[in-house]
Amino acid sequence: MVRNGAIIGRFCLVLTKLKKILFISLVGFLILSTGYTQEPPQSPAKLKVDKQMLKNFVKSMLIPGWGQLENGNKVRGILYVTAEIAGIYGYKTNYQAGADKESEFKLFGDEHWDYTTWSFSDNGETACGNLRTHGMQTYIDSDNIIRPIKDHHFYENISKYPEFVCGWDDIAQKDDEDLTPNKLAYIEMRTLSNELYRNAQLAGTLIMVNHLISAFDAALGTDMTSFESTSFDGKFYINPLNVSRGITMEVTF
């Protein structure tokens, strides 16, 4: 009897465990069904971009004011076109004036500063009684004569650094600041040329900014977006088995 009772007890224990396993499996199946079968596929709102917006953006990027005229905004279009014309005029005028003044000061320097005269005072460490801080690049021409390489650094050096002052033909009139009348005139011409180039660069920057502002202004002045419908519906879906997307919100327009 004890043996039969033990067998019956073990059978009941196994039956109880099977019931628990079946119950847990059923609950798990229901959760999975709720989490994955009841969640509908996502259907995000469909957005249609107005092609005219892009056209106006490109038009005003190419020619400021063009997109505004397409939008019917003639006043703004004329303002952007006017700013473009003024920018182009300012760039061309200042750049040409700077180039002319550059040619002028270079010719003046070639005429009044002499390498041979200066080289007599150059011993490698000092020149014109001043410490050498900048080199003078040279080459040997076809007549076996040493000549300076007249690049940007050459025309800068003879105006800025005192070790080159005795190359000017009016060195006898040098003042305490290592300036001669010709050197001072040269510095003024070179400074004016640089200022004109900077003005041209500023005008070029303003032209680019005018293109960008006009392009965005033309785009924003267009009907940018439209939805397929004006109604919408919102729902929440809870998935307890998905931690990263436990709660999902869907808005359908």
Q: Which residues pair with 49 in a beta bridge?
A: 225
Q: Are strands 126-127 and 130-131 parallel, antiparallel or unpaired?
A: antiparallel
Q: Which residues pair with 226 in a beta bridge?
A: 48
Residue 53 binned pLDDT confidence (cut-offs 50, 70, 90)? confident
In this prediction the pTM is 0.65
Pair 149, 179: CB distance under 8 Å? no
90 contacts: CB under 8 Å, gap ≥ 6:
199, 200, 203, 206
Pair 226, 50: CB distance under 8 Å? yes
Lowest mean pLDDT across 15-29, 98-112, 167-181: 15-29
Q: pLDDT > 90: what percent of the chain?
A: 55
CB count in 10 Å sphere of residue 199 = 17
**In the 3-class helix/strand/coil scheme, how is the chain assigned residue by residue?**
CHHHHHHHHHHHHHHHHHHHHHHHHHHHHHHHHHHHHCCCCCCCCCEEECHHHHHHHHHHHHCCCHHHHHCCCHHHHHHHHHHHHHHHHHHHHHHHHHHHHHHHHHHHHHHHECHHHHHCCCCCCEECCEECCCCCCEEECCCCCEEECCCHHHHHHHHHCHHHHHHECCHHHCCCCCCCHHHHHHHHHHHHHHHHHHHHHHHHHHHHHHHHHHHHHHHHCCCCEEECCCCCEEEEEECCCCCCCCEEEEEEC
Two tokens, residue 178: 């290592």
The predicted pLDDT at position 24 comes to 56
In the numeric block, the tokens 């009907």 are attached to 223
Tens digits of per-residue pLDDT, 200-251?
A: 999 999 999 999 999 998 888 775 444 344 444 444 444 544 544 444 444 4
**170 pLDDT exceeds 90?**
yes
Residue 118 binned pLDDT confidence (cut-offs 50, 70, 90)? very high
The predicted pLDDT at position 148 comes to 95
| Average pLDDT over every residue of 46-53 | 63
Q: Taking Cα atoms as reference points, which of 178, 74, 65, 158 lies closest to residue 111?
A: 158
Residue 49 binned pLDDT confidence (cut-offs 50, 70, 90)? low
Lowest mean pLDDT across 18-32, 96-110, 151-165, 237-251: 237-251
- C-alpha 175/C-alpha 203 separation (Å) is 39
* CA-based radius of gyration for the chain: 42
- C-alpha 9/C-alpha 192 separation (Å) is 110
Lowest mean pLDDT across 17-26, 129-138, 204-213: 17-26
The predicted pLDDT at position 50 comes to 66
The predicted pLDDT at position 186 comes to 98
